[in-house]
Amino acid sequence: MLQRAIDEGLNCTPLPYGSTRMIYFKHLLFADKIPALFGFDYGPVSLPGGRATITQGQIFNSAGRTTTFSPSCRIIADMGSRELHTNTTGGNCDRRFSRWYSNNMKDWITAGYRIIP
């Protein structure tokens, strides 16, 4: 049985972690209750990392609802300088029809950071 498991493991085509870990950023109150065309939810987005990497994330079902956990705020600090590199999901405004509602999502997905002096 062990030999069979090894053979199957060595002869499979691995998939990138993110291709099997697609998540949606859903509105706290209106998730799945309002049609997608209104833009309250954001996604799908591939979850970066894996179980043993710095960018950890989990997807599971809880009480009949898909639940995801992942770092929403990333901070890089160089102790030799007086600046921070930051990255946050979502946007600067909670108003759905504001242009600032999801303005940070592109940077979060592509790992773009803002420098805070």
Q: Look at residue 51 in the predicted model and tell me its pLDDT.
A: 63
pLDDT in tens, 45-89: 887 776 677 667 788 888 888 888 888 888 999 899 999 999 988
- The residues pairing with 42 across neighbouring beta strands, listed in sequence order, are 25
Q: What is the pLDDT of residues 7-41, one digit of tens each?
A: 988 898 877 777 878 888 888 888 878 888 888 88
Supply the DSSP string of 57-104, one letter for each residue. Answer: -EEEEETTEEEEE--SEEEEE-TTSS-EEEEESS-S-S-TTSTTSSTT
- Torsion, Cα 88 91 92 95, to 10 degrees, reads -150
Q: Look at residue 114 in the predicted model and tell me its pLDDT.
A: 92
Q: Which of 56, 39, 48, 54 is nearest to 90 (CA)?
A: 39
Which string of b and e fits 26-61 if b means at least 16 CB within 10 Å? bbeeeeeeeeeeeebbbeebebbeeeeeeeebeeee
pLDDT at residue number 85: 95
